[in-house]
Amino acid sequence: MSNLFSLDGKVALITGAAHGIGYEMAKSLALAGAKIAFNSSNLESMKKGLESYKAEGIDAKGYVCDVTDEVAVSNMVSQIEKELGVIDILVNNAGIIKRIPMCDTTLSEFKQVIDVDLVAPFICAKAVIPSMIKKGGGKIINICSMMSELGRETVSAYAAAKGGLKMLTKNIASEYGEYNIQCNGIGPGYIATSQTAPLREKQPDGSRHPFDSFIISKTPAARWGKPEDLAGPTVFLASNASDFVNGHILYVDGGILAYIGKQPK
């Protein structure tokens, strides 16, 4: 059975994996045998990331690359091919959020979120697919969200981008499935990382942030997710164990999307 999940000899690029969800996903791929390449938007974060991998005994390669810059992504991919080999697994994880009521969101803010969360996965997938085809296959995992399915106040650009990313996932699966490329999504629920830190900040009186309590009540598991909760699903979607799974979004949300909510007492 372990052969089915083994990533021995595979090369994985995980975008935005110096910390947070990307870092934990990369660690799980490394533990399954893959060679790891990751990028950050800046040098300081990339160096910190490299130190974290080193402390875990993982020999990762770090790059500084803005995922919205097509030329920079293409250069990074060529460099990874030279240094580690053809990329077998791409995890489109880099992402940002802006929490602003829609009518107060400027066009440039809206476009910035769409660029990082939707356009960049297109750029990165386009950069790796030709070599995957030549090699005979590959795996692309797009990090979606609860907001690929649900809306909420203040996250219009993020929801539009993550909803679009769900459909980009299905389209890549449709277009490149015949080349043995599987493109699936992971839709994390509410995970405790720097992205969601403002939603978990303690109140001045020490009590929970109202959004924190709201998420606990909306989640059947009654807790926030941890980045480690994504390890198993990531290895599954990166390995031969998922060779006939294509265009699927695997929600890892402690049950949020299945739940109508607590009935009033």
Angstrom distances, CA of residue 262 to CA of 215, 218, 221, 230: 12, 8, 13, 26
Is residue 156 involved in binding ligand NAP (CB under 6 A)?
A: no
Span from 35-43, 80-88, 211-219, 243-251 in contact with ligand NAP (CB under 6 A)? 35-43
Among positions 122-151, residues that touch ligand NAP (CB under 6 A) are: 143, 145
Is residue 62 involved in binding ligand NAP (CB under 6 A)?
A: no
158 catalytic residue (yes or no) = yes
Is residue 19 involved in binding ligand NAP (CB under 6 A)?
A: yes
Q: In this structure, is the dihedral angle defined by the CA atoms of residues 161, 41, 236 and 122, taken in order, positive or negative? A: positive
Is residue 257 involved in binding ligand NAP (CB under 6 A)?
A: no
From ligand NAP, ligand GCO, none, which one binds at residue 163 (CB under 5 to 8 Å depending on kind)?
none
SS (H, E, C) 135-163: HCCEEEEEECCHHHCCCCCCCHHHHHHHH
From ligand GCO, ligand NAP, none, which one binds at residue 62 (CB under 5 to 8 Å depending on kind)?
none
Among positions 74-133, residues that touch ligand NAP (CB under 6 A) are: 93-96, 116
From ligand NAP, ligand GCO, none, which one binds at residue 174 (CB under 5 to 8 Å depending on kind)?
none
Check 158, 176, 190, 251 and give the catalytic one.
158
Among 28, 169, 182, 193, binds ligand NAP (CB under 6 A): 193
CB of 129 to ligand NAP, least distance (A): 19
Residue closer to ligand NAP, measured from CB, 138 or 188 = 188
User: How is the chain classified by DSSP, letter by letter?
Assistant: -HHHH--TT-EEEEET-SSHHHHHHHHHHHHTT-EEEEEESSHHHHHHHHHHHHHTT---EEEE--TT-HHHHHHHHHHHHHHT-S-SEEEE---------GGG--HHHHHHHHIIIIIHHHHHHHHHHHHHHHHT-EEEEEE--GGGT---TT-HHHHHHHHHHHHHHHHHHHHHGGGTEEEEEEEE-SB-SGGGGGGTPPPTTSPPPHHHHHHHHH-TT-S-B-GGGGHHHHHHHHSGGGTT--S-EEEESTTGGG---PPP-
Residue closer to ligand GCO, measured from CB, 77 or 91 = 91
Residue closer to ligand GCO, measured from CB, 126 or 200 = 200
Is residue 254 involved in binding ligand NAP (CB under 6 A)?
A: no
Residue closer to ligand GCO, measured from CB, 196 or 239 = 196
Name the residues that contact ligand GCO, by CB under 6 A.
Answer: 97, 99, 145-147, 152, 155, 158, 188-190, 195-196
Residue closer to ligand NAP, measured from CB, 28 or 193 = 193
Is residue 238 involved in binding ligand NAP (CB under 6 A)?
A: no
Give catalytic residue positions: 158
